[in-house]
Structures are given as C-alpha cells and as structure tokens.
Structure 1
Amino acid sequence: MNPSATGHPTRRRLRRALVAATAAAGLVLAGLTAATALPGAEAVPPSRPGHGWSDTADGFASLPGLGRGPTTGGAAGETVTVDTMEALHRYVTAAEPYVIQVAGAIDINPKGTELKVASNKTIIGIGTEGEIVGGGFFLGTGVHNVIIRNLTIRDTLMPEDDPDDKEFDYDAIQLDTADHIWIDHNTLTRMNDGLLDSRKDTTFLTVSWNRFFDNNKTFGIGWTPNVTSQITIHHNWFKNTVQRNPSADNIANLHMYNNYLQNASAYGNYVRGATSAVIENSYYEGTHNPYYTVAGELVQRGNITVDCTWDDVIREQGDAFDPHDFYDYRADPAAAVPALLSEFSGPQPEIGT
C-alpha cells in the first residue's frame, strides 16, 4: 500500500483514527505515524494521491508465481457497468478481461447460485451501493488474476437447514485451485455456508479490509494434503461469527496482521496441519481461543486480547517464516485496529467511482 501526500483526506482520516485509538489505549504518539508507539510497526495509510485507496494488490497477491502475476484483475480490458444478474453473468464468465462495475443491488436467482468467474476480471462495486443478494461467486481450477472488491455479498440463509449449515452449500466466495486473487473492501454476511472458502491449493491470495459479519462458517482454508498455498490476510473485521475465523490447514505461508475479531464464539485464528503462520498486531475481543495451533508452526507478536477465554491450547510454537522475505509491509499498532476497521473496512464511497 502506498502512502499518499500528507494533506490527502484519506490520510488525514486514518491519522485521526490512529491518534484516537492509541490515545485511548494510553500510548503516546511520536513523529508522523501512530505506529511509532509500538516498536517494529509503522502505520501506512493505504491511499494514493488524487484518489482514495490503491488499486494495486499487496501481500502474496502482488507477487509473480506459477508463470503469471501479479494480480491486476481486468485492468487490461474494457470497463462495463452492470445492474442485472444477466449482465453480470455475461461479463464474469467471458473469456476476455473486464472491469465489471456493479451499480446497485443485484438479486441472484435461483437463491444460492454461485456465478462462475473466469480469469482476468475485476468485479467492483460503485461506491457503497454494489450488492450481490442471494448468491455469490465461484472461482474454479486454473482461474487466475481476479479482483473482487467493494461489494456487499449477502443473504442466502436457509431456515430449514440443519444447525451446522451442511445441506445448502451457499458461499459468498468459493475459490478452488485458483491463484492470484485479491478480495478487498467487501462486506460478506449471512450466508448459509461459508463467507469465504479458499480451497484446494488456492494460492497467491490476499484478503484485505473486509467485513465478515453474522455467520457460522466464516473463512475456511485447506481441503488438500499439499502444503503450497501462500496467503495474506490483513485488516479484516470478524464480528458475531462462530467457527473458521479462519481455520487454516496446510498453508505453506500464512501471514495475518491487523485483523479484528469481535465475538467469535467457537474459536478465532486456528492454525492446523502443516501450516506455517505469522499472526501479528491483531485485536481480539470477546473471542474464545483467539489464536492457537494443534500442529505446524505459529509465531504471534504484538496482539491484544480483551475479555477473551482460553482452553489449554498451544498459543505459539516454532519459528514459521519472516513475511519481509516475501514482500514489504508495515503493520498498524494493534490498539488502533478497532477504530481503523470501524471506519475503513467494507465498501468505501471513493472506491469504484
């Protein structure tokens, strides 16, 4: 994420949020960024001059690999605007690259349908009005270079389903053996199965600045014995969720930072299998087992827990890896995370316009 000029409105808003959050936590600001209050962390306002938020993916989605990358979505193609399911389906499934702007709420029928997205697409809401209602997206084997951004994807709950949401497999976004995917600034909520499932060796994935609200199965990762996936998860707000926040199985490199888990009842960040994970500068409130592992390696640092409960679990083990060996990033202080995500996660009015 690239810092903008000091006088840019988005930077000023981020600065105010950082100041308020760190002051409330009893920390003292020094210099230009609030993150100087915590050693080893620097706040980087995710904006650029003349606009609001960068259009460039960060984290693992920003890297080349598998003979392609970084993630640019449909930037090489035409920009189109859609407001019906028929038009949305036409462009997301097309062979050509497209930037697909979603204007308003689009109802998906039949309920639970996951539109099959082809490679080289950007699907982006215009301001805060773009919604996918009653369905979601599916990215299958070999699909690559896709951006899903600034959307609300919601409401496929089936009251007649069993208590564990197994009968109707309706996800907001499902990724099966996809690569170079950026999922950014969305609100995903009230789906009958998962909000986001990253499955079957999906890799070069970055999930940033999203809201995962009011759901049972939130964010599952794995479904394969292979240990190849590389995933970055940062600045996401998980609120009133139950399980998979995320549950991360057999991930070669999992980097999570600046996430906010609020009222996650079953468990928080669950590292399992042969996963190598780094979790840092995140904020956990009212969460059971905020972060833990049963196998693999977990390095945790700079995190804050408030009103959380713990079982007798392993909270850290092994050396994992250094994310800086893969890409540059600078984390915000954990104390600033709730205020930042309250204001800047989910769809933003300046994105997609």
Structure 2
Amino acid sequence: MSELDVPAAAVSRRRLLGGAAAGAVGVAGAVLLGQGSAQAAFETSPVGYASMNGGTSGGSASTVVTVSSASALQSALSSGTSQTVRINGLISISGMYNVASNKTIIGVGSGSGITGGGFNLSGVRNIIIRNLVFRNANDDSINVQTNTTNVWIDHNDLASGYDGLIDIKRGSDFITVSWNRLHNHDKSMLLGHDDGNASQDLGHLRVTYVHNWFEGTGQRHPRVRFANPVHVLNNYYSNIGSYGVCSTMNAGVFVERNYFENVGSPTITQTGDSDPGNLKVLNNYKVNSGTEQVRNGASVAAIPYSYTPQANNTVKATVTAGAGTGKI
C-alpha cells in the first residue's frame, strides 16, 4: 500500500516521525493533508498554490485594527498599510469593498463578517481572508480578479449571495481556497469568467481547492476555464443540485480523493456554450452518486507541489468537523 492510500492517522505518524510538524508547509510548498481533523483544520499558513510564488503571508501581524462599522471596514481594507483587519460582529455593507495588497482580514469569534455586499480583490497581492461569515451579497461574496496573486481564502462560511460565492478570474493566480463551508446557494465558485478571455487567462488561474464543504449547493464547485492544472482535493460534496466539478475551454482539472454524497454528476467536462475541458479523477469516494465524466486526462498537467492527501473515506468526517468559522 502506498502512502497516498494509508489511513490518515498512519500518514500523520509517518510525517511527524520524519520531522515535519502537523499542518506545516515545506520550502517547496508541500501540502501535509494526512492529519486527523483536529490537526488538519488548523494550518497557520496556506498549503498548495498560495504557498508558491513567494508565498502568502498577508498583512503585518504587528499592525492590527479592529472594526465594527461599515465605514471603518472600508477604510481599513483600502488602506495602503500592511495590516491585519479584525472584523468584530456582522457588519452590513452595500456593494463591493475594495481590498488593497498586504492584508489579513479575519473575523472575531464564529459569527463575525459581512452581509449585503462583498470583497473585491483587483490587481493586488498577498491577501488572507479567514474566519468570516458572508451573507446576502448583492453581487459576488468574494471576487478575485485582474491579475491578483497570492490569496488564501480559508475557514469562511458563505451563503445566500446573488452571484458567485468565491469567483476567481481575469488572470489571477497562486490561490488556495481551503476549509470553507458553502451552503444555501446555487453558483458557488467560478474559475475563469468568459470563454473569450484566453489571452489573459492561459498560464494563470492556478488554484488549490482543499477541504471545502459544499452543502446543498447547485453548481460550480468549481466551474473552470483555461486553467491547467487546477487541484480539487479532499473536499466534501453533499446533496449537490446540478453538478460537482466542471472543466471547460481545454482546462486541466485534477479531482482527487474527494467525498461525493448524493451527487448525481460528480464531474462533467462541458456546460453551457463552452468548449469541453480536460479532467482526470483519482480515488474519489462516492455514496449514492453518479458516474464521473473524464476527458483526456493526459492533458492535465502535473501538480507542481508535493503533498500527501487524506484517505478518501475519512474526508467527510474531517471536513464537517473542521470547515467553516470558529475552527481556527
């Protein structure tokens, strides 16, 4: 039996005996995902793509501002200062608030965040968004666009938005989306906004989706254009309305060791008017779920970082225990 298929506890022991700390990120961006739920839910730095390209450290930990009003939040997010922005309470905002580079945005407790609007990351770098509630956005809840790089979106609870909950587009790159709970929504995560945007998107849109919980959502978990490779690893899909993961426009998506429960179409390779994409699967765990669609898996590029995935049959318990707010 290879290390990729051993139980989570055994992988954890093996890694720890080798000297690596639980949840750590190595110099090459190694993802240590084999730990049990109590350990794996508490990474203090991003795994996967957000650990590459110089890494994602967010704003200064020594410059901290705590906000509890819309005006204070908008000012803190748009400031040119590298800082940590702590959101205290559920703040009602209107529209999309722009986020400047070098920010850590984190909720206080399990119920802090925003309602009525969303965050816009455009042409910026080095952003961390953690432990926040997003509700009732009048557009996207989190919109990452225009060559934004090095973003870590982790341990948030997102629901009931107007458009996407987490959309990534327009040449953005080196992003990790981890340990988020998405529910009460249709179009969850778009990666690549338009079939005609190849000139900006090819060679970019590299994203790791890991340990997220898609609970009763409709589609786009994610829905991908152009990007290759995209890594969809160790996520839990429960009671999905339309489809799980979709690859289009010659994208390359690797869907590995996820847990699909009550999902009629775990993976598809075409939707809407888009040309088909490439998709390969490995050892996904399915309960009352349909057949995975695959296409030209050899065209899906190799994942460029080292990692040890969690055993597929343990993903549900780990993700339901660790995803969302109040866990870090």
TM-score by length of structure 2 reads 0.83
| 1:139 maps onto 2:114 in alignment | no
Partner of 1:250: 226
**Equivalent residue, structure 1, for 2:277:** 296
The equivalent of 2:246 in structure 1 is 270
Q: Displacement, 1:154?
A: 0.8
Q: Could you tell me how far 1:56 is from its partner in structure 2?
A: 1.1
Secondary structure in 2 matching 1:243: coil
Q: 2:145 aligns with which of 162, 167, 176?
A: 176
> Does 1:227 find its partner at 2:205?
no
Distance in 2 between residues matched to 1:62 and 1:28, nearest whole Å:
25
Matches within 5 A, 1:183-198: 183-198=153-168
Determine if the alignment matches structure 1 residue 43 to structure 2 residue 19.
no
CA contact (8 A) 1:125 1:131 kept: yes
Please tell me the residue identity of whatever aligns with 1:96: T
Instruction: Provide structure 2 residue ranges, at least 5 long, that are not aligned to the other structure.
Output: 15-31, 271-275
CA–CA distance in structure 1, aligned partners of residues 151 and 186 of structure 2: 24
Q: Match of 1:338?
A: 316
Write the distance in 2 (CA, Å) between the matches of 1:288 and 1:280: 18
The structural deviation recorded for 1:32 is 3.2
Q: 1:47 to 1:309 in 2, by over 3 A?
A: closer
| 8 Å Cα contact 1:101/1:124 also seen in 2 | yes
Determine which of 92, 110, 133 is the counterpart of 1:128. 110
Among all aligned residue pairs of Structure 1 and Structure 2, give the percentage whose two residues are the same amino acid. 33
1:82 match = 67
CA positional deviation for 1:304: 1.3
Cα pair 1:44 1:330 within 8 Å, conserved: no
Aligned to 2:325: 347
**Change over 3 Å in CA distance of 1:291–1:122 after alignment to 2:** same
Question: Helix, strand or coil: the match of 1:241?
Answer: coil
Of the three residues 89, 109, 133, the one matched with 1:104 is 89
Can you list the C-alpha shifts for 1:293-333, whole angstroms capped at 9, x where unaligned?
243332210101222235xx74242222322xx22221111
Query: Are residues 1:321 and 2:301 paired?
Result: yes
Match of 2:256 in 1: 280
Secondary structure, counterpart of 2:50 in structure 1: helix
Aligned to 1:212: 182
> Taking structure 1 as reference, are residues 171 and 331 closer, same or farther at Cα in structure 2, changes over 3 Å only?
same
Q: How far, CA to CA, are the matches of 2:235 and 2:258 in structure 1? A: 5
Is the 8 Å Cα contact of residues 164 and 187 (structure 2) preserved in structure 1?
A: yes
> Residue 175 and residue 28 in structure 1: after superposition, are their counterparts in 2 closer, same or farther (change >3 A)?
closer
Q: Hey, what's the Cα distance between the residues in 2 that align with 1:190 and 1:94? A: 28
RMSD of the alignment, in Å?
2.5
8 Å CA contact retained: 2:225, 2:277? no
Report the Cα distance in structure 2 between the residues aligned to 1:215 and 1:55, rounded to whole angstroms. Answer: 28
Using the TM superposition, give the Cα deviation of residue 28 of structure 1 relative to its aligned residue in structure 2, in angstroms.
Answer: 9.1
CA contact (8 A) 1:44 1:331 kept: no
Report the Cα distance in structure 1 between the residues aligned to 2:56 and 2:36, rounded to whole angstroms.
Answer: 21
**In structure 2, what is the equivalent of residue 60 of structure 1?**
49
| Corresponding residue for residue 150 of structure 1 | 131
- Structure 1 pair 90/329, CA: closer, same or farther in 2 (3 Å)? same
> 2:9 & 2:175 partners in 1: Cα distance?
33
Once residues 268 and 8 of structure 2 are traced to their aligned partners in structure 1, the CA distance between those partners, rounded to angstroms, is: 33
| TM-score, scaled to structure 1 | 0.77
Q: Tell me the amino acid that sits aligned with residue 343 of structure 1.
A: A
- 1:210-239, CA deviations, whole angstroms, 9 ceiling, x for partnerless residues? 011110111111122132221110000111
What SS does the corresponding residue of 1:96 show, helix, strand or coil? coil
Counterpart Cα distance in 1 of 2:59 and 2:282: 37
Q: Does the residue aligned with 1:289 lie in a helix, a strand or coil?
A: coil
The answer to whether the Cα contact below 8 Å between 1:84 and 1:106 also exists between their aligned partners in 2 is yes
Distance 1:96 1:124, change over 3 A: same
Residue correspondences, number: 294
Once residues 246 and 34 of structure 1 are traced to their aligned partners in structure 2, the CA distance between those partners, rounded to angstroms, is 28
- 2-side partners of 1:171 and 1:207: how far apart? 16
Tell me by how many angstroms 1:31 deviates.
6.6
Q: CA deviation at 1:63?
A: 0.6
